[in-house]
Structure 1
């Protein structure tokens, strides 16, 4: 049930990002005289202070926010796989060096590091922001994959692959990695959530490309326009709700994958016991 609801939410936002801009081809940055109008038949989600349509910004901004999340998660997951699997399989000095590198990034506070790195970016486009988020978000996934690799590398099928003469990297990426795909998928989904939140945080602080419409930049301009104080709830609630919903969908899919990979996490419903008919005493019958 969890994974179905999560997949439904993700399918909705994926279709919004892919098909939505084709259905609403208007420029999301286009201004008009209809400033700070509430939801109506003409503007379903109202307008901003400068007359920009909020629904159009939500639809077009989904591409940027989700694109940054997926791209940074792909980069971080690839790096986590390389570091975690290689270190866990080879052990020794290789594992020590990679573990020290992983621990350094685990100790460093992620958000301040992202802010510092983003401040030195010459260009704050989608790819640049995604790389910065990926650099700070791969370490915990590498740590989990290393621990799993340490427990898998001594299993019979790995020993059989070594005895058959397979090379170490083939054993790592063709024998061990397929076994860890549920863990990798879980790490990927969690990284997507963190990346979307990080992009929204950077945009809200004004450290991303504010000329590109995203859910985070919408929150930034809503905060600058004092939308909360003037009661323009339609300006900041929709982007915040979208971020919360897509995070919920990814978390539900993540929980579902955990239950598939580990059946002990599944909730087993106890069958209902049939009610026993109570015997009526003879005194009551008479």
Structure 2
């Protein structure tokens, strides 16, 4: 836990994720506090660059870009969280619990995993989302999460098979330890790094998938997200018109979210992986030793030059 707190990657990543979480919770309230409305149209300031009146500029329809970014944070983050939680839960259920149960349950879990792996996921989501258009961010998140678990389940199954044959697991099984305790108390802590990485990857992937669906027009017309902002900017040829302030902020938000998830993942991997942890400590010791050596050197004697 101490290494987790002291890792600069984890601190920076968690700081960015905390900012996104606060914006998702209080973004609409912040718009109200600033007197902004993502749907309000200012006919006197259409397509204006960033200024004191509109900090991130306006769209060709006179809508404030900052208001849309703040309102769209909730939609994109909600999609990412729903898809991440659902896909990670299914992957753990199929990959870990199914492997420990064994028998027909493991065979069915393996068959489902292989079946979903060969399915064209994005076109399938595109078709289903097209039929269910109007469901909003909840429907998009559930669809992405439902189809996004097989890769993680395959990885967790391979790790669980390795752990299941370890000496301490075999010894506890021979002593009559309950299966649920073997799964949740003895096995899951060893898979914490894999599970957290899977969850963060699923969140970022869901945000990107939602942006792709919105870019193709498969989203609710009333939904506001970073993807819908990019889609509207593309429809109005913002890139060709030089309206960079329309599509750069939502794109930067998605990139920063991916950076935050990557930093947290790298930090957890450094802490959970003994080899990376040892290499990190060795590097820190080398730097400290070098600093002590430099500090222990005697200061050069200053000699006055005779005039």
Q: What residue is the counterpart of 1:11 in the other structure? A: 18
Aligned counterparts of 1:123 and 1:47: Cα–Cα separation in 2: 26
Q: How does 1:52-63 map to 2 (within 5 A)?
A: 52-63=63-74
Contact 1:29–1:213 under 8 Å retained in 2: no
Measure how far apart 1:44 and its partner are: 0.1
Extract unaligned runs of 5+ from structure 2.
1-7, 298-307
Deviates more, 1:41-50 or 1:108-117: 108-117
User: In 1, are the aligned partners of 2:75 and 2:224 still within 8 Å (CA)?
Assistant: yes
Please report how far the alpha carbon of residue 122 of structure 1 lies from its aligned counterpart in structure 2 after TM superposition. 5.1
> How many angstroms apart in 2 are the aligned matches of 1:109 and 1:52?
37
Gaps of 5+ in 1: 277-286
Deviation string 1:206-259 (CA, Å, 9 cap, x unpaired) is: 101131110000001000011011111100000001001111110111111111
Distance 1:255 1:221 in 2: 34
CA distance in 2, matches of 1:246, 1:195: 12
Question: What number of residue pairs does the alignment pair up?
Answer: 277
2:217 is the counterpart of 1:206: yes
Distance in 2 between the 1:264 and 1:104 partners?
35
Asked if residue 23 in structure 1 is aligned to residue 30 in structure 2, the reply is yes
1:238 aligns with 2:252: no
CA contact (8 A) 2:134 2:219 kept: no
Stretch deviating more after TM superposition (105-114 or 189-198): 105-114
SS of equivalent to 2:219: coil
Higher share in helix: 2
Q: How far apart, CA to CA, are the structure 2 residues paired with 1:14 and 1:149? A: 32
Q: Is it true that 1:114 corresponds to 2:114 in the alignment?
A: no
TM-score with structure 1 setting the length: 0.89
Deviations 1:50-96 (A, max 9, x none): 11110011011000000100111101111111000123223343323
Normalised TM-score (structure 2):
0.83
2:261 corresponds, among 236, 242, 250, to: 250
5 Å-filtered alignment, 1:1-286, equals 1-25=8-32, 26-33=36-43, 34-121=45-132, 123-266=134-277, 267-268=279-280, 269=283, 270-271=286-287, 272=290
Deviation at 1:182?
2.2
Quick check: 2:130–2:218 contact (8 Å CA) kept in 1? yes
